[in-house]
Structure 1
């Protein structure tokens, strides 16, 4: 890093620290009133990261590379609140996608409707971790970004047919993992001698 680059990095750090000193507590209070308690710290961290990256865009911070005085909260906070609002919206969308993924996969696994035994989605994350990296990426693109196989193929460099095959196999693996975690569906035992869905013995 050149001397000029070092100076620029130092100026950015000084400007960010001056801004963070003023806005962190108000942003924390803002999020406490709007976010789930377990989201607040993560969303605040993401907000501060955006402010770091966009420090030059913050209105009211002043033109000086290194602020000579504390920024005026009334000047900088509205824009920072807007950043926090956007980060919170992103977090909520991500949570909805996780819930959608869980619902779609547990439907495949025939998990009983209304099952809430895994509110933190621990079983889902554990099942995803068992997949190969590329299979996991295909599943996430399908479930989170809601891409069809043709679009997933563009992202991964696979053919659309290869994506379809991987997706089908990965969903089956996840369904099997989740079914083991959540237990058999009542009335759907398929082992020999057990009840089937119509109440008859499988013998």
Structure 2
């Protein structure tokens, strides 16, 4: 029963979770590792898995936490590599759409929490209510956070010379 429930969730939600993670990692390999951790956590907590319509939101919540851990590890690795190599380069998926890097620079200056909530809305297409369920927070909390994140992003864009 547990196995069948997990298998249904995996089959139904692997692709959107993988796409969500891929947009937030530097490579397909990193995304694959993160998604494997997401579903490992889901397997361990299969008894806590909500009903079908809520499952993907629950998985997004797990993915956010695994990504946060991955990002912390990546930052530690990057700092160490920078010290060892005395250089550091990164590339982002937005370079092709933002050749001068103005939008990416503005977005990168946002707090990770702001980046995450804006991404859940703009890229994943979640509503504030769905985000609230994924985060285990009241919808009003998410709406306020989203409003503030949008305001901060608009200020950063203005600093880059992009009028909103």
Report the TM range for the smaller structure's normalisation. 0.3 to 0.5
TM value normalised by structure 1: 0.39
Which is bigger in relative contact order (C-alpha 8 A, separation at least 6)? 2
TM value normalised by structure 2: 0.48
Larger of the two Rg values belongs to structure: 1
- Structure 1 or 2: more helix by fraction: 2
